[in-house]
Amino acid sequence: MAVVPAALPTLLVLDADPLPRLGRLTGRARVLHTDEASLAARLPAADVLLVWDFTSHAVRAAWPGEGPRPRWVHTASAGVDHLLSPELAASDTVVTNARGIFDEPIAEYVAALVLAMAKDLPRSWELQQRGEWRHRESARVSGTRAVVVGSGPIGRAIARTLKALGMTTAVVGRVPRTGIHGPQDLDRLLARADWVIAAAPLTEQTHGMFDTRRFGVMQPSARFVNVGRGPLVVEEALVRALERRWIAGAALDVLTTEPLAADSPLWHVPGLLISPHMSGDTVGWRDELGTQFVELFERWAAGRPLKNVVDKQRGYVPGH
């Protein structure tokens, strides 16, 4: 009697250019591709959903529809707020993220921002464009204090990198534990910090946490960097803090609305550096994301426990 092969699992990919390299899954999965407009119609046929377009909010909109839903959703990003609808959070579907890909690149980027602000590099570039020779003194970072808000792998990598520059670092997380401060210590630490780095996930508790009161707690010499999620910051409060010189400077790699409109007043706020959500995107990062997903798929297909499983109620991978 002929053996009938088991049906291949269906992998649905929410596309973004360039497409992921999934050649290793040939003959092991039926791979379908979709855009935002077709996602809702294709979801019921999928066993697995790969959210390759991690800037899209289409999953939140499409998930509440009728019919079966994928047993596993993977997003090629560290954050999961763009896809966690209440219906997905309440379902049995497993959600995983790209934890581990962005830790060191983001830590390097934060160090670059810190050094650029301390050494006044943006001003040097402006003066060079005008052909103006203007000697200035710059600040040292060794011996200064940094507070990293977010105790996950990214936050801890940032703290290690800044410590290597001779900075005293404190990490604040959701729950206090050895080497990690709890939320109750945040204001006290902010009041003494020279550098405040936001690297927390976006949750109900962290949304808008950097507001007028928090910027008011900081020293006038302090500088603020956000590489977490845009809505961690009340942007109007940050603008006010910079314009009134409550703090000395800031850098935003993530914003509430992305991409930032060309006519946004944020481009012209004095003392504010803006970059287009690129702190974790180094050469070859998409290939790393694709390889990570294929390895997770192989574990899933073999019935082995998945790594990087998100606690859908908390909004991040627990255990850090």
Active site residues: 229, 258, 277
- Please tell me whether residue 316 adopts helix, strand or coil conformation: strand
Give, in order, the Cα–Cα distances in Å from 251 to each of 49, 189, 218, 230: 34, 19, 15, 12
Scored b (16 or more CB within 10 A) or e, 305-319 reads eeebbbebeebbbee
The dihedral region occupied by 120, where left means phi > 0, alpha psi between -120 and 50, and beta the remainder, is left
The Cα 143–Cα 32 span in angstroms is: 53
Give, in order, the Cα–Cα distances in Å from 314 to each of 74, 140, 174, 304, 319: 17, 38, 10, 24, 12
- Sole residue written with tokens 């039926």: 30
What are the tokens at 303? Answer: 């019935």
- Please give the single-letter amino acid code of residue 240: R
DSSP 312: T
Strand pairing report for 48-51 and 94-96: unpaired
Residue 48 forms beta bridges with which residues? 11, 72
